[in-house]
């Protein structure tokens, strides 16, 4: 403050030459007032902008963004807009890209299964294993205290190919048994008995392959661990629930599939 007053007094002593040639002090020509103003004014998209930074302690990025959006409208005056930048903006872009990739992968998977099984119903039965893996992913993240991140999304994309093979083993064996003249109930019981061991073997092998990444503490473990833990949780839940849910869905939807096959065959014969 003292330094500011000294500069102001010095500024008032500046002399200017008037029209008549005499020197006049600046203090006699100008009124000096003190006020506060921004040292710099930043612009973004031709609008004034103020950037606010914050550190997160005990709160993940997604939860902090949701918390901010709940109360920021009541705090900002009219005419003031806001947007998230930095990691928050990238997180939203990543979520949108992940949703598009997930939707495209589901469509392609359905098309491939429909071509292989020559049916529009059985791919639905097989793809029931996909949402069952989400339960394990969320439960594993909750128990481990980790947050949903980009690497968890990558792990979930890997799960889509892994968990589908359990349903494929059951449905494929049940189809073969029904072609041999067995009923749907008998085919499903036999499929569960015959395919239980391969399902357990492949699932346990993949789980143990992911354990080094999940338990690692070296460089890069903060990115590898969430992906591996999410995969392990998804494999466990899909392994258990697929053996229970997929046979039920097969038993309920199979009559519709049989009827559609007869309808297609009748059209072809005509």
Note the pLDDT tens digit of each residue in 82-111. Answer: 888 777 777 778 778 888 888 888 888 888
Cα distances from 98 to residues 24, 41, 54, in angstroms, run: 71, 37, 26
Cα 190–chain centre separation = 38
Query: Is 64 domain-assigned?
Result: no
Tell me: pLDDT of 241 over 70.
Answer: yes
Q: Domain containing 230: what range?
A: 105-269
Give the pLDDT confidence score for residue 116 in this predicted structure. 83
Query: Is 61 domain-assigned?
Result: no
* Mean pLDDT lowest among 187-191, 210-214, 221-225: 221-225
More confident site: 146 or 62: 146
Query: Is 184 domain-assigned?
Result: yes
State the average pLDDT over residues 74-87: 80
Tell me: pLDDT of 127 over 70.
Answer: yes
More confident site: 268 or 243: 243
Tell me: pLDDT of 120 over 60.
Answer: yes
Give the pLDDT confidence score for residue 266 in this predicted structure. 58
Tell me: pLDDT of 162 over 60.
Answer: yes
Tell me: pLDDT of 244 over 70.
Answer: yes
Query: Is 230 domain-assigned?
Result: yes
State the average pLDDT over residues 3-22: 74
More confident site: 155 or 111: 111
d(CA 223, CA 151): 6
More confident site: 218 or 94: 94
Give the pLDDT confidence score for residue 270 in this predicted structure. 45
Tell me: pLDDT of 255 over 80.
Answer: no
Q: Considering its fold, how many domains does the chain have in total?
A: 1
State the average pLDDT over residues 189-202: 84
Query: Is 2 domain-assigned?
Result: no
Query: Could you tell me what percent of the chain has a pLDDT over 90?
Result: 0
Query: Is 245 domain-assigned?
Result: yes
More confident site: 227 or 56: 227
Biggest CA-to-CA distance, the chain: 120
**Count of beta carbons in the 10 Å neighbourhood of residue 132:** 21
Query: Is 252 domain-assigned?
Result: yes
Q: Average pLDDT of the chain? A: 79
Query: Is 217 domain-assigned?
Result: yes
Give the pLDDT confidence score for residue 142 in this predicted structure. 83
| pTM of the predicted model as reported, rounded to 2 decimal places | 0.64
Sign (positive or negative) of CA dihedral 201, 245, 236, 228: positive
Residue 196 sits at φ, ψ, to 5 deg, of: -65, -45
Q: How confident is the model at residue 76 (pLDDT cuts 50, 70, 90)?
A: confident
Give the pLDDT confidence score for residue 230 in this predicted structure. 87
253: CATH: 1.20.1640.10
Contact 54, 68 (CB under 8 A): no
DSSP one-letter code for 77 = P
Give the pLDDT confidence score for residue 53 in this predicted structure. 77
């Amino acid at each position: 403050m003292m330094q500011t007053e000294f500069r102001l007094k010095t500024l008032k002593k500046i002399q200017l030459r008037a029209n008549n040639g005499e020197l006049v002090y600046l203090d006699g020509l100008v009124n000096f007032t003190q006020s506060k103003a921004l040292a710099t004014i930043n612009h973004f998209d031709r609008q004034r902008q103020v950037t606010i930074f914050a550190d997160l302690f005990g709160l993940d990025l997604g939860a902090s963004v949701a918390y901010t959006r709940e109360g920021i409208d009541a705090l900002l005056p009219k005419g003031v807009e806001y947007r998230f930048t930095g990691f928050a903006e990238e997180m939203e872009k990543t979520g949108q890209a992940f949703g598009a990739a997930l939707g495209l992968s589901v469509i392609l998977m359905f098309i491939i299964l429909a071509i292989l099984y020559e049916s529009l119903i059985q791919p639905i039965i097989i793809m029931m294993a996909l949402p069952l893996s989400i339960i394990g992913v969320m439960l594993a993240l909750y128990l481990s205290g980790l947050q949903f991140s980009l690497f968890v999304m990558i792990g979930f994309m890997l799960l889509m190919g892994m968990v589908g093979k359990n349903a494929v083993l059951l449905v494929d064996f049940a189809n073969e048994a029904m072609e041999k003249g067995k009923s749907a109930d008998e085919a499903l019981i036999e499929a569960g008995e015959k395919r239980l061991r391969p399902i357990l073997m492949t699932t346990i092998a993949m789980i143990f392959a992911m354990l080094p990444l999940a338990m690692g503490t070296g460089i890069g473990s903060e990115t590898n661990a969430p992906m591996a833990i999410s995969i392990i949780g998804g494999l466990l839940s899909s392994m258990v629930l697929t053996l229970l849910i997929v046979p039920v869905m097969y038993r309920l939807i199979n009559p519709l599939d049989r009827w559609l096959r007869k309808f297609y065959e009748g059209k072809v014969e005509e």
